Structures are given as structure tokens and as C-alpha cells.
Amino acid sequence: MSLEQQHLRKRQQGGLFLLISLLLIGSNLRAPLTAVGPLIPSIREHLEVSHTVVGSITTLPLIAFALVSPFVPKLANRFGMERMIFISMLILIAGIGLRSVTGVSTLFIGTALVGIAISFGNVLIPGFIKMSFPFRIGITTGFYVVFMNVFAAIASGVSIPLANIGSFGWEGALAAWVILAIVAAILWFPHIRKKERAATIAEDDSKQEKTNMWKSMTAWQVTIFMGLQSLMFYTVLTWLPEILEASGYSLNQSGWMLSLMQFALIPITFIMPIVAGKMRNQKLLGFMTGSLFLLGILGFISGNTSLIVVSVILFGIACGSGFSLSMMFFTLRTKDAYEASELSGMAQSIGYLLAAFGPVLFGAIHDMTGDWTASLVFLAGTGVILLIVGILAGRDVVIEN
């Protein structure tokens, strides 16, 4: 084997290890959150809190995303992207451990730390992919989102069985996910010792000054699309088990239906980035995403138990399409990795702030009306707006100042 061939093989192996490490990071960006949904009835009963209060367990990470996201690109530019991702895994480990201690205060503090940790990955990964895999953005994004959602689906499905093991309870079921975070941190650690500055987001300080996402209509369209699809996902993630319980499903069955929703989104999360990257514009994909959200919600509103499985699957496909499109918009609507991370930071800051109102407002509407119909109508109205914004964000434009 020639020296050149050895060098090429070494680069390929290094790229594969980087991809595996990246996928493990992605696996931690939803599972600690989706594990909560099926356990909410148990948490609410054990801690003796209202629907509105327990709904904020899902809302709190979204608020953390909103507050932290604008600062993430700047921190990564100063200290190195790899280093900040590693630090975020350490914060995640601490947060998962703390929220698993019985008590309202530790639950909320730990959940806030989980949200802070995940916000780093949410913001940095799109820019990191654009920079580290510039010729494979679509397929790399597809793998990243698939791993994120596979583990999210597993987390939803196994939460109740884990909680029923011995004296595990909901605390043990939530604590189990610290293992995945520890593994990801260990595999990511070697990357912070290699080219710490090479993987920063910015190319030069002057470029940072020229980028102003906040004045771009396109950036705002992407932001609103990101926020509304997140609102839909996290709201249903929080309340679907209780909605299904009202329709006659057991707690364990409703947990697996939530898992089915997330498994349904997995194929589309891999296909969508590849398809979106090959299309001149993504207006049709934006329209399709909004339509699927509406069809799923209308099925829930109908109350027809024979439609529930179909509605869950349609809603899951819509969630996968919406999230994947958001990730691709960050790269397709920008010129470089720095702009991609800036747009990601803006969209996830404002977008998740918007999404944060979803679970609490949905639960509050239920508390006021006594049933889920009015809450679902609110979600359907949100779906109409998402459809319109998805078409606008899908236009073939690049953000200019």
C-alpha cells in the first residue's frame, strides 16, 4: 500500500469515527425529552401537581433552547465547536442525574440543565455538518436526524416498562438515559484534542459583522416554520398519552402509540434531507408537511378509535418532515457554516420560545374546557399557519444582507 493510499485510508477511518461520534451526540438530543411523555401521569400523581404545571416539564427545555441558542455560535467560535459539544454532554449528564432525584425542585432544575445541554447540539450540528461534510450534507443530515429520532422513539416506548421494573419508578426510568450520554461524551472527547480551532463556525471576524439574520424576511420565515413544527411535536409528545387514555387506551398502550408516532417519522427524516437537497426549491415539501400535520390532528379530533393509528402515523411523518426541513433550511438558505449556525441559533431561539407555549397552553385549554377537543382545534389552527410559512420558507433564495 502506497503512502498516499495509507493517508487516504486514515482520513476515511477518521471521517467514519467522526460520523459515529456525531450520531451518538444526536442520539442524546431527543431521548432525554421523549422519555418524559409517557411518565407524565405518574409524575403528576406522585408530585400532586396540575396538568398545567406538569406540562411545563416539557416546556422548560424549550425555554432553555430559546434563551441559550443565540449565544451558542459565539461561544463555539471562541472556544471551539468540538469543545462546546463535549461540555454540553457533561451538562446533560448532570441534568439527567439531578432530575431523577425525587422532588419538584430537582426535577425542574435538572430538566433546565437538560434543555441547556441539548440546545448546544441543536444549534451547532447543522453548521458542523455543513463544514465537516460539505459534499454529503443531505445524507449526513439524514443519518443524524434518524439516529436522533430512533432513540427518541425507543425512549418513549421503554419508559413505562423501565418504570415498572422493581422500585425503578419514573425516577429510574429517566435516570437510565445517563448511560447514553456518558458513552457519547467518551467517544467525542478525542475530537476536542484535534484541530480545536479548525472546527469553529466563523471563518473571519468581518464575516460575522456582515451577517444580520434578524433583518431577513427569509430568516424569519424559517424561524416561524421551525417554531411551529416544534410546537406541534412537543405538544403532542406531552399530551398524546393522556388524550389516548381518554379514548380508552391503557397507559402502557398510549406510551407505545407515542413510540409508534416517533418510529413513523424515522424513514421520512432520512429521505427528506436527501430529497430537499436535490430540489430547486422546497415549497412543495413545505405544503406537504403542513397538510400531514392537519390530517393527523383532524383524526384525533374525530374521536374515531379506528382512525387513531392512522392519525398517529400521519402526525409522526409530519413531525419528521418538519424537523428535517428545518435542519435543511439552515444550510440551504445560507452561504456558509457560520451563517448556517447563526440562522440555526436565531430560529431555535425564537422558534423554541414560540414552541414553549404549546404544551402549557394546550394543557390550560383542557383544564378550562374539561376535554381535549378545543385544545386540538387550537393545534389545527397552528397547522394552517405552518403550511403557509412552509411554502414561503421553501422558496429558492439565499439570505442576503
Supply the pLDDT for residue 210: 58
380 is a domain residue? yes
The x, y and z cell numbers of residue 143, run together, are: 443519518
401 is a domain residue? no
Confidence of residue 296 (pLDDT cuts 50, 70, 90): very high
3 is a domain residue? no
pLDDT, mean of residues 260-267: 85
Render pLDDT for 39-80 as a digit per residue (tens, 0 to 9). Answer: 888 888 777 677 667 767 777 887 888 889 889 988 888 888
Supply the pLDDT for residue 6: 45
Percent of the chain at pLDDT > 90 equals: 38
- The amino acid sitting at 11 is R
| DSSP character string of 178-219 | HHHHHHHHHHHGGGGGS-TTTT-S-S-HHHHHH--GGG-HHH
Highest mean pLDDT among 2-6, 205-209, 250-254: 250-254
Supply the pLDDT for residue 44: 80
399 is a domain residue? no
211 alpha carbon, distance to own chain's centre? 25
Supply the pLDDT for residue 40: 83
The x, y and z cell numbers of residue 194, run together, are: 484535534
In sequence order, what are the residues at sequence separation of 6 or more whose Cβ sits closer than 8 angstroms to the Cβ of residue 28? Answer: 89, 92, 118, 121, 151, 177, 180, 181, 184
Confidence of residue 194 (pLDDT cuts 50, 70, 90): low
Lowest mean pLDDT among 100-114, 184-198, 265-279, 354-368: 184-198
Render pLDDT for 78-89 as a digit per residue (tens, 0 to 9). Answer: 888 889 999 999
User: Residue 230 phi/psi, 5° resolution?
Assistant: -70, -40
Total domains in the fold of the chain: 1
178 is a domain residue? yes
Confidence of residue 205 (pLDDT cuts 50, 70, 90): very low
Q: Are 192 and 202 in contact (CB under 8 A)?
A: no
Percent of the chain at pLDDT > 70 equals: 90
The maximal CA–CA distance of the chain, rounded, in angstroms, is 74
176 is a domain residue? yes
> Does residue 185 or residue 9 have the better pLDDT?
185
2 is a domain residue? no
Give the domain range for residue 111.
Answer: 11-393
4 is a domain residue? no
> Does residue 304 or residue 300 have the better pLDDT?
300
Asked whether the predicted pLDDT for residue 12 surpasses 80, the reply is no
Which residue is it, cell 472527547? 189
> Does residue 300 or residue 205 have the better pLDDT?
300
C-alpha count within 13 angstroms, C-beta hemisphere, residue 222: 34
Find the CATH number of the domain harbouring 33: 1.20.1250.20
CA dihedral over 300, 228, 22, 60, signed as positive or negative: negative
Supply the pLDDT for residue 166: 79
